[in-house]
Structure 1
Amino acid sequence: MAVAGADEMPRQFPKVTLSDVDEEVRLLAEKVYASALKEEENKDAISMYTVPEDCPIGLQQAKDRELLRELAEQHSEETAKRKKSLKMIRSQSMQIPVCVDWARATPTPLVSPSSTCPSIPDNFPEYQRVTISGDYCAGITVEDYEQAAKSLLKALFIREKYSKLAYHRFPQTTARFLRSAENLKWREEDEVLPDICPCPREGEDPYSMENIPENLNYELKMRDGIIHVYENATAVRENRPHCLPYPDLETFAIDMTHVLAMIADGPTKTYCHRRLNFLSSKFYLHEMLNEMAELKELKGVPHRDFYNVRKVDTHIHAAACMNQKHLLNFIQTTYKTDAERVVLEKAGQRLTLKQVFNNLNMDPYDLTVDSLDVHAGRQTFHRFDKFNSKYNPVGASELREIYLKSDNYIKGEYFALLIKEVAHDLEESKYQHAEPRLSIYGRSPEEWESLAHWFIQHKVHSPNMRWVIQVPRIYDIFMSRKLIPNFAKMLENIFLPLFEATVNPQKHKELHVFLKYVTGFDSVDDESKHSDHMFSYKSPKPEQWTTGENPPYSYYLFHMYANIMVLNNLRKERGLSTFQFRPHCGEAGSITHLVSAFLTADNISHGLNLKKSPVLQYLYYLAQVPIAMSPLSNNSLFLEYSKNPLREFLHKGLCVSLSTDDPMQFHYTKEALMEEYAIAAQLWKLSTCDLCEIARNSVLQSGLSHQEKKHFLGSDYLKDGPKGNDIRRTNVAQIRMAYRHETLCNELSFLVDAVKSEALGSQT
């Protein structure tokens, strides 16, 4: 891995002060917060935009009011000028030229008949396109259209800022349009990508401790909940941190305020709602017109079908990565071979496996999957507490301690064997990969060394697995047990060992090796848990958070992101791998969770609550924020399968993938990921192209290295549209890829054109 030069790195975090925020924006944001807190009491609350209108009289009155307003504005001279400028802009040069080889793959709606398009290469498939003609086609007044466009572009600029600072991905297409809005030219060297360690080659030792970088002996100190790096003790005393970007809580709160205000802004909601409806209808027409052509393309691909395209389980927890039958067989096997082995120390007494089962009054040979009782059912719906208890086989925490923990009396041996058996099944399948979550709690800084030692001692590495660290949001439990003095100590226990292993890897060799295979961080817990604290720039610093109350979700996310961002910049400077932030988000709870994640996360898991907010859903589409969805998991916990928005999101063009979450609780077969695909395909009548598109998305949003993605998706996978798709590897039709790219470009062009037309109108 090459060491990045100083000029390549985003060294400063651009700060914003409260004086830069309009009073109206602040009030709108507070309104959203207040309504979100109120809505938490009603778990079934759904936005008016996601269900059919139940009041036809009210709908008609709203339409009449809008019609009268539009008629009045049609006579406005100013409006006429704006419409004229919009029409002129969209008829001159509709889109940013992305690539000259297939110019017809740029969006065609609203291009004037007089505009010329270079010819399509012979090997590029032709298909039927849907064209909408008119002036600006927004379906709302020009003023509302321009206001919505400015708000949406501002939100995209904010996400781009946070993504680039943390070395998270930001889509090239969206970045091109943002540069166009600034009247700048997009440069390839401006693109920022995560730097992930490639999988060891065959014959290489994945646990080798050779060629470890030298120690820097930098000083590390936590300030305001964020680890700061200093070159020496003098720099610490003078408070001169090493040249890295350090996030600012006030700036983040203000940026979040801008996005929150958009959610409550009427014109923006209307615009986003209409565009999302259009995207859904447009895909329906595309499917009707081109389904057979896509299928014909796929039939012509040799040695590639849905079964042998790469799929990644982008969201799975290591402690539940096996199905219930697998766990039952493993328990019975270990009892048969290790009955007299000491496996547990409880209250100062050492117990053999046989004694443990005797104390539980059970014989392992009589166990069944029903008596094991780890499967979620109807009784867990909206009962996260009951779901968590399913991690205890036969309801016994002792068995969880023995079989599903990495830090126990037997040093996590059984847990490692279980994971290795799951990894072996993945390797046998060849085309399936997984990203299991391992827990770091923040109780003690020794957790990292213990986990790294477990990983290396038991040789848990697999070429078909990448690891994500999950941090449960359970500060309140630690405080109630007086394990930590404040929230800052929990953050320090989580992140300080990582900084130490980055600065002085020779002193932490095992952790350095383990971090090669860790690709990201997750924030987990029950999102529906209520917090009385409203996150803002006035929120106390982590060192001052000494109450027993759990910090709100946004507070957790900011401080996790902030430390990951500083850590990534430090590791990039040292030529080491970087990490992605991939929190659980939008499964339940407040809509504000999705706003926090929009700013801070590389990708999210679940995202169900996007259904409640057309503005956020449209932003997640424009920014192509990856979403790992788990319909079977949601079906048992929060949302019936038939109501899951995955199919709706896929049709609109959001970047969604399928994942299992917890096979032990939700699945029956040995191949849990294939079970997810099979049920989704049957219930929603997904085509082969749909399934392969979801599989391709899973590889793109995964923590696999650049080299692996090139092998699985094609050498040009980073390019946009059909140019970035190798159908021989992905089995996704070029027609589908062209449609997705054209549609995204078209939506982005609406926003850019609105800004340019306003600027043009102000000049005339």
Structure 2
Amino acid sequence: MVRKNRSLFFVGYDSYSESPSASPILLDDLDGNDDTPDQVLAFDACAGIRSQLQERNSRALKLKGASAGGDLNLDDLDMIPLNTKFDVQMEMGSPMAMPPETLPPIKPLTAKDLAYSSLAHLPSYFFEQIHFHVERKCLLDMCKLRRNYLTISKQDALACSQSQSAKPSQKNLGRIKDETLRTAHLLDSNEENNLTSPRDSSYIIQLCNGHVDVPTFIEYRQNFERCLRIIQDRSLSKFSEKRLQYLLNKFPVFQYLNSKKEMRQSKNVPHKDFYNCRKIDLNLLLSGCFSQWQLTEFIWSKLKKEPNKIIYQTSNGRHITLIQLFKVDFEEANTFSSGLKIIDDSFLEWYKVIYLAKYHLINSDSETFIDPRDKQFRHYLIAKTFLEFDNCINGEYLSELLQTFLIKPLETSKYQLCQLSVDFQFYFHNGNSDVDNWWMVFANWLNHYDLFSKNIRWNVRISRIYPALYHTGKIKSFQDYLDLIFKPLFNTKSYIHKSLGPILSKFLSRIASFDLCIQDSDDYVWKQFTNVDCPPENWTSNGDNPTISQYMYYVYANLAKLNHIRHALHQNTFTLRSSCSSTSMNRTSQFSNTLNFTEHTESTLNNFLLSSGGFLNAENLWNAPPPLVYVFYLSQIPMVMAPLNSIVDSKATIAQDQCPVGLVLEPPKPYKMNPFMKFFEMGFRISLSSESILYNHSYTKEPIIEEYSVAASIYRLHSADLCELLRNSVITSGFADTLKNKWLGTSLVSHNYFMENIGFVDNWYDCKPDTSLDHNVPAIRRQYRSKTLAGEWQLVIS
């Protein structure tokens, strides 16, 4: 077990060099019962609040006595003056209006006035007594439960670091002092002999056989339903909604009062502005990492240089050349004219809706799905030839596109990096299963074309396509689906003798996270209702798709097992991330028989409990229950959004009957309907991503710069806002902690300077009094975020 007694501090600092302005809040020591009444909780420092409370109670007694004495009669209601807007103008704006000699009586505040009152930041129980069926401290229990799940699976930043600490009793270990982290740790001085000891070998064999202390699925389901009951409490929902509204209204006031100070502090940092700060695209898809015009220009250049290159072979042995691909009916006559926009909107929509959902994830013969005489066959060949790495030309064109339009620009630009997301494809070859799998094929492709880059980390996307695999007859249960993903990585002999090869090891060392994608095209309708508590080897269910919770838990359990093995081998570990589809809000979850909730709530709560890497497509979090959104803020869980990717303006050329089952084509939404700015103002740990440049109609060579520039122009963001977003993208990324130390001046080792917590599991400390020289986020902005978060925690745990 790792770090059982871990404490989380929230400290408000007056300056980075001085001591804290208030004593820190130790959350782990506040689990006991507090007998302090609600009326006096942390509000003694506010002037006049206690007197207002007494005044309100006295007025309530007077009103009660008056009503009992009969002073107020219903017949007197017609004598109540009805003031109009003209009367108010005459009293307040007319020069002839005389001020009243006596002040009007103060009207007592009620719960209905909170939304419009200047005291809306005060909790609701200050004005009326709300009886919580679920205490606010349960939010702290949910966060602690999340931290336990993440530390057990070694998803915390200390476990994910590149260099792991070894046991002092092992041989061939040299003591090396790391000046950057100011700590001493043990590194292996002879890697070849590290795994030859019987103790290490037996321990790794035990890990591969499943000896990992991970909570069972039944226990996880109980914890899930417990958290679900907490977030469904009505009084807690009202409390969370008011706190979120307060956070949203507080930030503009802070900017109005401190914008000049922030601007002055930003200008004091020389040679460090938005363009000179590190910026990381956390979720850029390999299937769309170049723009539409770049792909079109590349195709025309290949048609001029090598028109007779064979790019496909049909099942009957016929070869199709590159020039034949762009001829009508694949004949010699009626060729396409030069300058034609080959990659048009119709192809992009077919590629996104049809190809990526049906043909991309399963590596099989396409002619069983598409008739070669169909017009969609040309679209399929274009996607297979230029946008796939495993094809007739061994992914040559995709490697050139990736090298030309992504890797070289990133390496040329010092301050741009990305985490590139690739879809895991399911192979059904009859060859050697230890070599002929997706892991080895993709790693060999990267190594063959030298696509490894220091500016790129990889994310592996896992899709919920169990029904499609089941109906092919290649798998018989949900366990077979999981084995296709993780079994090549759990080969005990391969780990002990390192027969997986240095190429695969090199690729695994550059993987940051595993992403479980909940998409609109996922199968939803069940033909038979199977008990979800059954083990995955018993889940056949006639091809029905398992629930989101089953996917999340079993991916989490296998990832925890893999992380324990890699941690024992002193290698980097991986984090888990997930997304949420927009159509899941209208789908009832099938995970519970006693509680009613949607798949949207299910996927969001699963991400909160099991994912350390963050929440993808965070636009959909806006529609989650308020307590769940509020606890995302309290935990500072990383979130990734791509506003430009949600406003694609393409014509609907795909018929609804051609779409996958359950997918409804929705019209695009305008940019300002994206809740990105609201999340940022509240203080969520959010960052921007390009996601898929292919659909954004981008005409620049720096899409991540374009993403931030559009947001800055629409929302009028200044330097402090942009630099804060960039810092969020770096500190929540999957790059090594030593690089974050160099870029941001932060460390996982405790220091006496500013500290911030991310995900309720990782504490990052500043290594020097003022780190704004590294990221140019003003100190006053960081103090505001820290004090606001500490105030919310004080309100929750009181």
- TM-score, with structure 1 as normaliser: 0.71
Q: Residues 282 and 134 (structure 1 numbering): CA distance in 2 closer, same or farther, change over 3 Å?
A: closer
1:585 is matched with: 580
Answer yes or no: is 1:505 the counterpart of 2:498.
yes
Where 1:149 maps in the other structure, the secondary structure is: coil
Q: C-alpha separation between the residues in 2 aligned to 1:341 and 1:286?
A: 62
Q: In terms of mean alpha carbon deviation, does 520-529 or 489-498 score higher?
A: 520-529
**Any residues of structure 2 matched to 1:228-267 within 5 Å, and which?**
241=209, 243-267=211-235
Retained in 1: the 8 A contact 2:532–2:550? no
Q: Which residue of 1 aligns with 2:632?
A: 620
2:784 alignment partner, one of 717, 720, 739: 739
2-side partners of 1:213 and 1:496: how far apart? 25
**Greater displacement, 153-162 / 133-142:** 133-142
Distance 1:195 1:138 in 2: 45
Partner-residue secondary structure (3-state), 2:393: coil
Counterpart selection for 1:353 from 306, 322, 336? 322
Deviation sequence 1:700-747 (CA, Å, 0-9, x none): 121111111112111448752596372112111111111111111111
Cα 1:680–1:375 shift into 2, 3 Å: farther
2:463 to 463, 466, 472: 472
1:720 is matched with 755
Give the corresponding residue for 2:472.
481
Matched, 1:168 2:180: no
Structure 1: gaps of 5 or more residues: 1-6, 12-93, 116-130, 170-190, 199-209, 219-228, 754-764
The answer to whether residue 20 in structure 2 is matched with residue 103 in structure 1 is yes
Pick closer, same or farther for the CA change 1:508–1:622 going to 2, 3 Å.
Answer: same
Report matched runs for 1:541-690 at 5 Å: 541-546=535-540, 547-585=542-580, 587-589=582-584, 590-602=600-612, 603-612=614-623, 613-636=625-648, 639-668=669-698, 669-690=700-721
Residue in structure 2 matching 1:437, options 421, 443, 447: 421
Q: Does 1:195 align with 2:226?
A: no
| Match runs of 1:217-236 below 5 Å | none
Query: Which residue of structure 1 aligns with residue 140 of structure 2?
Result: 153
For residue 519 of structure 1, what is the aligned residue in structure 2? 512
Contact kept, 8 Å, 2:642 with 2:689, in 1: the verdict is yes
Retained in 1: the 8 A contact 2:518–2:578? no
Deviation at 1:262, TM superposition (A): 2.1
Contact 1:443 1:490 (8 Å CA) reproduced: no
Q: Deviations over 1:562-621 (max 9, x none)?
A: 111111122111101101112223544122110111111121211223212211110111
Trace 1:6-17 onto structure 2 (pairs within 5 A): 8=2
1:386-428 deviation per Cα after TM superposition (whole angstroms, max 9, x unaligned): 9869999996111111111111122212111211121111122
Equivalent residue letter for 1:428: T
Aligned length: 601
Partner Cα distance (1:354, 1:730) in 2 = 50
Task: Kindly provide the CA deviation profile for residues 133-182 of structure 1, in whole angstroms up to 9, marking residues without a partner as x.
Answer: 9997755766646834122112111111111122234xxxxxxxxxxxxx
Letter in 2 for 1:583: S
| Residues 600/728 of structure 1: CA separation in 2 closer, same or farther (3 Å cut) | same
Separation of aligned partners in 2, 1:726 and 1:395: 54
Distance (Å, rounded) in 2 between the aligned partners of 1:713 and 1:496:
38
| Distance across 1 between alignment mates of 2:283 and 2:521 | 19
Q: Distance in 2 between matches of 1:504 and 1:464?
A: 30
Q: CA deviation at 1:671?
A: 1.3
CA-CA distance at 1:290 after TM superposition = 0.8
Structure 1 letter corresponding to 2:693? P
Post-superposition CA distance 1:282-304 (Å, at most 9, x none): 11211111111111110111001
Q: Quick one: structure 1 residues 163 and 322, their matched pair in 2 at CA, closer, same or farther if it must change by over 3 Å?
A: same
Paired residue type of 2:506 = V
Q: For 2:487, which of 462, 478, 496 is the aligned residue?
A: 496
Tell me the distance in 1 between the aligned counterparts of 2:681 and 2:581.
19
- CA distance in structure 2 between the partners assigned to 1:527 and 1:686 by the alignment: 32
Q: Percent of aligned positions with the same letter in both sequences?
A: 26
8 Å Cα contact 2:11-2:786 kept in structure 1 = no
Question: Are 1:297 and 2:265 matched, yes or no?
Answer: yes
- Matched-pair contact (CA < 8 Å) for 1:373–1:395: no
Q: Which residue of 2 aligns with 1:405?
A: 388
Aligned ranges for residues 46-61 of structure 1 at < 5 Å? Answer: none
Question: Does the residue aligned with 1:316 lie in a helix, a strand or coil?
Answer: strand
Deviation at 1:104, TM superposition (A): 3.0
Give per-residue Cα distances to partners, 1:643-702, cap 9 Å, x unaligned: 111100011111111001110111412211111111111122222211111111111121
Which amino acid is 2:416 matched to? Q
Greater displacement, 542-551 / 625-634: 542-551
Asked if structure 1 preserves the Cα contact closer than 8 Å seen for 2:10 and 2:790, the reply is yes
- How big is each residue's C-alpha offset from its partner over 1:442-479, in whole Å with a ceiling of 9 and x where there is no partner? 44451111111111111101121111111121111111
Judge which range, 104-113 or 432-441, deviates more.
Answer: 104-113
1:701 to 1:329, Cα distance in 2 relative to 1, 3 A: same
Kindly indicate whether the alpha-carbon contact (under 8 Å) linking 1:452 and 1:511 is maintained by their aligned counterparts in 2: yes
Q: 2:454 aligns with which of 443, 448, 463?
A: 463
The Cα RMSD (Å) is: 3.8
Amino acid at match of 1:610: L
TM-aligned CA distance change 1:639 to 1:558, over 3 Å: farther
SS at the partner of 2:640?
Answer: strand
- Using the alignment, how far apart are the partners of 2:553 and 2:133 within structure 1? 31
* Structure 2 letter corresponding to 1:275: R
Q: Is the 8 A contact 1:591 1:609 kept in 2?
A: no
- CA gap of 1:475–1:258, structure 2 versus 1, over 3 A, is same
Q: Deviations over 1:230-278 (max 9, x none)?
A: 866xx79xxx956422341111111111222123211110111111111
Partners of 1:317 and 1:134 in 2: CA distance: 41
Mark the CA change 1:625 to 1:354 in structure 2 (over 3 Å): closer, same or farther.
same
Name the stretch that deviates more: 541-550 or 524-533: 524-533
Q: Which residue of 1 aligns with 2:60?
A: none
1:106–1:578 CA distance, 2 compared to 1 (3 A):
same
Which amino acid counterpart does residue 195 of structure 1 have in structure 2? S
Compared CA separation, residues 384 and 372, structure 1 to 2 (3 A): closer
Structure number, greater radius of gyration: 2
In the alignment, residue 168 of structure 1 is paired with which amino acid?
Answer: Q
Equivalent residues of 1:376, 1:387 under 8 A apart: no
TM-score (norm 2): 0.68
Deviates more, 1:700-709 or 1:351-360: 351-360
Distance in 1, matches of 2:343 and 2:123, equals: 63
Do the aligned partners of residues 315 and 368 (structure 1) sit closer, same or farther apart at CA in structure 2, a change above 3 Å counting? Answer: farther
Distance in 2, matches of 1:661 and 1:670, equals 15
Match in the other structure for 1:423: 407
**Distance change (3 Å), C-alpha of 1:216 and 1:605:** farther
